[in-house]
Amino acid sequence: MKNKSKNCICSNRISLEFGPKGGLIKLIDIKTGRNYIAPLKTLPIGLSGKRVFCDDRPLFKLYLVEIDNKKALPWEICLSSIDARDLTVKKHKKRELYFYFHKIDEMDIDVECKIKIDKNPSLCNFYVSIKNKTNLAIRKIEYPVIEIPLQTGEIVDDERFLVSHCDGFLAKNPSIASWNNYKGFYPGFLPYYACLSTQLTAYYDKKSGLYVATHDGDGHVKQLGPKRAGEIVEITPIHHVPEIIGSDVVIPYATVVGTFHGDWQAAADIYKEWAKKQSWCSKKIIERRDIPKWFKKGAFFYIMSLRLHKDKEKFLSKSASLVKKWQKTISMTTIAMMLDWEKFQGWTTPDYFPPYGGTERFKHMCRDMKRLGIRPMIFGISGLKWSLRKNYRKIEYNSWEEFKRKGEKFACVQSNGKLYIHSFQPFLDSEDWNGFTAFICPATPLARSMLYDNAMKLIDLGVVLVQADQVLCGSPGPNCYSRYHGHPPGSGKWQSESIKRIFQEVKIKGKKKNPDFVWLMEEPGEFLIQELDCYHGRNNVQEMWPRLPGTIGVPLFSYLYHEYSAGYGSDTVSVSRENPSYHIYCQGESYINGNFITARCGGGFPIEPKDADPNIVKITKNIIGCIKIGREFLIFGEMLNTPPLEVPEISLVPSVSWSFAIQEGKKIKVPSVLHRSWKSQKGKIAYTLVNISKDKQDFFLDVLPYGIKEQVNLVLFKNGNKSKTVVKNVRLPYTLNLNLDPLDAVILKIE
């Protein structure tokens, strides 16, 4: 391949330069002059130890597999743009480049890459298509290869990586906070949509940021970084495709790369502009008639185990009266979120029925609850997992023979033809052993039965809310290579379409059975927003979820989609008297982030309000009072870009009385006053604030205009009580002095 002259495209915001073999070697933010791409490497060559300067990096990498007797052989062939025999480059004005790579590694494979400056001059769109006339199958494509320096900014402590894992989190620079695999969740090439709720990744510091996202509205399978690789960080999207011999590949969506200025919210603002045009944002919560009216008014989730009570099965007949006490205390419609309802033990699937306590006792319990105005909820149907063997609470379970008769032919098959069997060890040392699990392919009738049929059975038993558990962000499970399930081999859009089809059927048929029915999923996922009524979120847990030291939870999904997708707060908020300060913080985060409020006691042991920690009960009541006043914001509203608040920090020790308490014992610092800004569907603006500390807080809030030009009044609602106009006839921005007592929750409306 002959060296080419420099190939650049640019706007007045960004400039991209590509090397002689097509690799991305510079991406410059014009405003700051910062180049986000790592310098090219000097590589050791041969046994002599001599070092040779590498004059380019790949623009893409292709991973191909050989198929023998309809099975993929257990190795991958990796080729890259550098392996092309010839490269042709065409340029259109200053804003478009076309790279044509011919005969990759002398094989009959040609690749076309189109790179075009977006209408937003801070962004650039990357497209790729591949002509494959070999007897190999393409498995995945890394494109565009984006390698940034380990330290990009001047102050490493300021650097953050935004990762769309579940609700979203920020990871510190890996040079100061290790990105080693910690209990299975870490920044790396994570799959969308098995762990990632959106397709957005970003890096930023106080100076500027790098935006990397795939703008795909159709649910194609992919992986997104960041991932540390020595002295660089890779933020290269990986696009997965069905593995078909000699098949051409066209990635039908753009990978969008560009720069921004601000924190994670600024990156999310770019993504939001695209995301709101996708089908999953076709209707907002306030517009959707399929979501029950009672649910739109707000609800309180009380979480309890049916098994962990001294009365054992007899507790089912008493549970309604217990939950009623909470409903009376909180003064809001209450959902009885019931764990450990399954025939054997919690999370043992799919052999659920008859439920714990027996069919009649369970139905009677649901009738009692509904008679008292309580909505019974099941947590939850454990996705598409089949429990093969486990030891749970010292009880042995083995369903291998049943699986061989009824499940094996529908299970996910690896590329070597063997079943995909997963051994899931507990997160902490425990006598419980979670044993072996098989995964059922989402394209099979059994997958439909495990979700749809079981949901219908629960509705017939009197359950009002059903959650698809362990389907994180809509995960379909592992890739499947079965020849008998009616789908292409490997991964592909067929996976997301299969899950979506089942979810649609559950929602539609469930609401025909009971118009009050609510269909939920563990963790949010943008592709399924319109197929769900609500999701189980965890954006209120810092440095515990996603179980990695040095991470900070952020409400990315709520920031993008709050007015389209309701979420309830974490199931880790305990009302017990152990470590109440941390759980007060968690409850405060749920409030300011617009989540439905929850409470549980420890590991799910049922507890009465009089035995709960009084401060947690107090802040929960204060928050509920504010939600009633601020429904237009906290249920139907849009979260706005909110600058940080200058208030003292407090130290907390995270703790959760169940096995996800990975960070237990490690202190974290959080603001004493939590806050967010909101916009209603009518364009009104409000701030939510809560003092989670033990001290009175006196501070200043900069009330921003958010487009408001006229004079306004600032009206304060504290703990659900009557309003108080604190300032009249002022123009924004305005600096307001506020005083909040411990556990105060307030809404400040701009009127």
What is the pLDDT confidence band of residue 166, given thresholds at 50, 70 and 90? confident
What is the pLDDT, as a whole number, of residue 426? 45
Q: What is the model's pLDDT at position 508?
A: 98
pLDDT band at 83 (very low <50, low <70, confident <90, very high): very high
Tokens of 597: 């409020």
Provide the token pair at 351.
């052999």
Q: What is the rounded distance in angstroms from the CA atom of residue 286 to the CA atom of residue 244? A: 44
Contact predicate 377/466, CB 8 Å: yes
Cα atoms in the Cβ-side hemisphere of radius 13 Å centred on 652:
26
Largest CA distance in the chain: 83
Q: Residue 336: left if φ>0, alpha if ψ -120 to 50, beta else—which one? A: beta
> Taking a C-beta distance cutoff of 8 angstroms, is the pair 749, 684 a contact?
yes
Q: Identify the band that residue 661 occupies on the pLDDT scale cut at 50, 70 and 90.
A: very low
Residue 729: CB atoms within 10 A of its CB come to 8
In degrees rounded to 5, what are phi and psi of residue 331? 60, 45
- pLDDT average, residue stretch 675-681: 98
> Which tokens go with 33?
């002059």
CA-to-CA separations, 138 to 196, 249, 489, 508, in angstroms, rounded? 23, 8, 11, 37
Confidence of residue 2 (pLDDT cuts 50, 70, 90): very low
pLDDT of 467 over the 80 cut? yes
Residue 137's nearest CA partner among 251, 239, 250, 244 is 244
Structure-model confidence comparison of residues 656 and 334, the more confident one = 334
Handedness of CA 66, 71, 75, 79 (dihedral sign): positive
Q: Token pair of 668, please?
A: 């974290």
Q: Are 122 and 30 in contact (CB under 8 A)?
A: no
pLDDT of 346 > 90? The answer is no
Over residues 330-356, the mean pLDDT reads 93
Q: What is the per-residue burial (b if ≥16 Cβ within 10 Å, else e) of 53-62?
A: eeebbbbbbb
Kindly state the average pLDDT of the residues 351-376: 97
Interval 128-132 mean pLDDT: 98
Backbone angles phi, psi at 587, to 5 degrees: -65, -40
Taking only the tens place, the pLDDT of each residue in 177-213 is 777 644 444 445 666 656 899 999 999 999 999 999 9
Is 90 exceeded by the pLDDT of residue 433?
Answer: no
**Is residue 142 over pLDDT 50?**
yes
Specify whether the backbone of 694 is left (phi greater than 0), alpha (psi in -120 to 50) or beta: alpha
Kind and range of the H or E run holding 751: none
pTM of the model: 0.94
Q: Grade residue 561 by pLDDT with cuts at 50, 70 and 90.
A: very high
Who's near 614: CB < 8 A, 6+ residues apart?
none
Q: What is the pLDDT of residues 726-746, one digit of tens each?
A: 999 999 999 999 999 999 999
Between CA 115 and CA 124, with CA 120 as vertex, the angle to 5 degrees is 20
pLDDT band, residue 660 (cuts 50/70/90): very low
Give the per-residue pLDDT at 347: 85
Q: Would you put residue 707 in left (φ > 0), alpha (ψ -120 to 50) or beta?
A: left
What's the confidence (pLDDT) of residue 544?
Answer: 43
pLDDT in tens, 235-255: 999 999 999 999 999 999 999
The reported pLDDT for the residue numbered 605 is 83
| 3 state SS for 607-674 | CCHHHCCHHHHHHHHHHHHHHHHCHHHHCCCEEECCCCCCCCEEEECCCCCCCCCCCCCCCEEEECEE
* Residues of the chain above pLDDT 90, percent: 73
Distance CA 630, CA 747 (A): 7
What angle, rounded to 10 degrees, do the helices at 614-629 and 319-330 form? 60
